[in-house]
Amino acid sequence: MRATPLDGRKAKEGAMTESAAIGNLDLAALVSSRICHDVINPVAAIANGLEMLGEEQDQGMRDAAMDLIRKSAAQASAKLQFARLAFGAAGSAGAEIDLRDAEKVSREFVQGSGKHQLAWQGPAVTLPKNKVKLLLNLVALGVVALPRGGVVSAAIDGTPPDVSFTVTAKGDSARLTDQVKSLLLGGNGVTIDSHSIQPYYARLVAAASGMTVMAEAAVGEVVFKAA
């Protein structure tokens, strides 16, 4: 494995690439687009299920429609609850977040698709909001690293508030793409869009947390560390 330290360098101003920093308005727009992208499929499925209920008389089909609505509503709720902590302000400056809440939203987010499992190891304590946001964004990157599914493990070590995080993604076709790696490193000329905003945002939160992030890749495994 090769570890790459992420120094939290500032992005430079520019047109949605790392060569010139994204402004606040563009950052807000891309994060909003990412959240919308994540919830559009389950919301659309709910709409389809409701349409089926309005048209179908067959009880078997109606039961299938209700099952679709229930599952899709749970997925949409899980994604929104996760986004609220991973991207949201979560209170005023200096606010802290309970890791039990972070674990709950992470578990529902990771396991909602049925392809991924979450293993969580850490104390039931509160941490500064930006550190928790960083942890959740690394968990999300762990899911991205497992396109075919697998296990995302999150470990919190140390004595609060001086903690370290290790998020490990294990599974078939586990991968750390060049785009994700470059955005975590702050590489120049990398296009940033709603699909790739997560690693860019994670780097910003790491810098705000006073933490350094590392990424490691091997066959069947990707590891993100922050300390």
The amino acid at residue 132 is V
* Tokens (6 digits) for 167: 């998020």
The single residue listed with the structure tokens 């578990």 is 107
On whether the CB atoms of residues 222 and 12 are closer than 8 A, the answer is: no
Q: Which residues contact 190 (CB under 8 A, 6 or more apart)?
A: 17, 18, 179, 182, 183, 196
The amino acid at residue 123 is P
pLDDT at 188: 65
CA–CA distances in Å: residue 226 to residues 19, 38, 212: 24, 25, 5
Domain span including residue 142 = 4-226
- For residue 160, the domain's CATH number is 3.30.565.10
- At residue 161, what are phi and psi to the nearest 5 degrees? -90, 5
Overall domain count for the chain: 1
pLDDT by residue, tens only, the chain of 227 residues: 444 444 443 333 333 554 446 888 999 999 999 999 999 999 999 999 999 998 888 999 999 999 999 999 999 999 999 999 999 865 555 689 999 999 999 999 999 888 999 999 999 999 999 999 999 999 999 999 999 999 999 999 999 989 999 999 999 999 999 889 888 877 666 788 888 899 999 999 999 999 999 999 999 999 999 99
pLDDT at 190: 78
Distance CA 67, CA 87 (A): 30
pLDDT at 90: 56
